[in-house]
Structure 1
Amino acid sequence: MDKKAKNILFKTYWKNGWIDAPQRQTNPADFEYAKSKSIMFDPLTISHDQCLENIFEILPTISMDKVATAFLSSLSSRRLDWRSSLASYFIAKRLVPHHYTQVVSGQSFGENGEETHISHTCGICRDLKYGIIGEKKYQNEDLNVLNFERIKWGGVRHGQLIYTLLDLQQLQIAEIPEPTAEDIEIFKNILDIISTSQPTDYPGTLEKNLSTAIKSTKDERKILIEILACIDILKPASYERPSRGKSDWTFVEYWRGEDKYNEEALNTYFGKYMK
């Protein structure tokens, strides 16, 4: 990844925390440079149906082996953008051809009970596993903030149709090296920690335990766990379990330590590296 372009992207959104939207700005020459390196992009306007069509065009060009290799190669290098694509690939594989089908996704009401706002999403996307978020039309969508999150944390919007498209587009053009022995060792250590979890451990406990296996921040580990849950390696035995307090987990919320990891899913993606 071009370091100058990455720095331009990061300075647009982050300075010891998020930069407020009105204060975000990029020098035009810097923007053109970052765009030439496929790190920043012009705003995108695209319909739900075209977004879906583009995803289906990309999918056959990406092998499962490339996705697995990208994930593993991210572990020692901390190329979190490579890590992200595993979840996006899994989600894309579960999409079905369809047209946008509008359903209500949320409502707001005034003091007297009158409806003040109503939002919509695609019902077919919503009813797929984990509930994909598909807008009817993306108007001047800021792809740069999506790419910033992808590079900094490994993606925080898995399950949003527009993010799936961006993530796969970037993986398609990426040159991914073979995983190193260190990458494989890190992954096996992660699996060992999962397999020795206490039966009542919640995802938050697993996140803390993984700090000894991989050089990472708390947020990076949370996304790592979410990705493993998204592809069913961390698969709950039940979805009827209670949550603990306020949770912002998306895919791993119902996993507990007693579930360990799903060997079938592990072998599907990483079997050749587990020998």
Structure 2
Amino acid sequence: MAKSARIRAEDCRAISGLLGDCRDLGDDRHAWREHALSGLARLIDAELGILGEMAGCRSGRPRDLGTVTLGWQAGFVPRRAFDAHFEAFNREPDTYMPTMVEGFRYFDPAEGFCLRRTDLRADRPWYTSAEYQRTMTSFGADHILWCFRPIPHASDNNFGLVIFRGRRRRDFDARELRLVRETAAVLAPLVGGPLARFTDPSPRDLPPRARQVLACLLEGDGDKQAAARLRLSPHTVNQYVKLIFRHFGVSSRTELLARWIRRGWGSRFSWLEG
């Protein structure tokens, strides 16, 4: 293996730490992805990223199933412009991002694909393309790295990661490509298990007080104990419990706890914040 493609011991530790943090946040479909994306962007020095799920990669008819993004928060690209580009992609993926769609031809059923823009299109046709002029210039971005892997037990549903670097910066090198590939390889198999999918009901979608009651239930409290801890009436707690059961599609505390244990979700409860 070329020296430039080797990953260092500290890289392995960083990926392992990122995986552990994501598992701790795994019951929150947005929180674990935001953490994974920001951690990976720091690791490979990238400014803008997208992490989500996409259907149709193998069939050649891609369709977005949900995303989190990094970059607009720090002003790298206006959020409104970013959302507009996503809407356009969902309407016409072949027209709007043809280079990525071309990459799906290399999709391996077991391992997906991980490629840079320069692996698919040379500089001259790229910089004169409508795709670059229309999309990348509005992002202030140039170099792109795509990494897609299949989600277990989900027909043509895929873990998708897109990382960008700004104009006048160097392309992603072989080591950075491998870092992204290795990170995707440890995260993707856990999606739908310890890492929540976008289709999973999220604790963050509950009202703040209901989230507090949920945390009490997951820590083993009954209605009276939760009421005492939260300074609510038992009747109010009971109403929140019913709301929680409906939200997660369960009918008892046992089912609720079993759901958390079966999925391997921890007790960090990031959704209590904010």
Q: Return the index of the structure with the highest Cα Rg.
A: 2
Do the structures match in fold with TM over 0.5? no
| Larger RCO: 1 or 2 (CA < 8 Å, sep 6+) | 2
TM-score of the superposed pair, with normalisation by structure 1: 0.22
Question: Which one has a larger percent strand, Structure 1 or Structure 2?
Answer: 2
TM-score after normalising by structure 2: 0.22
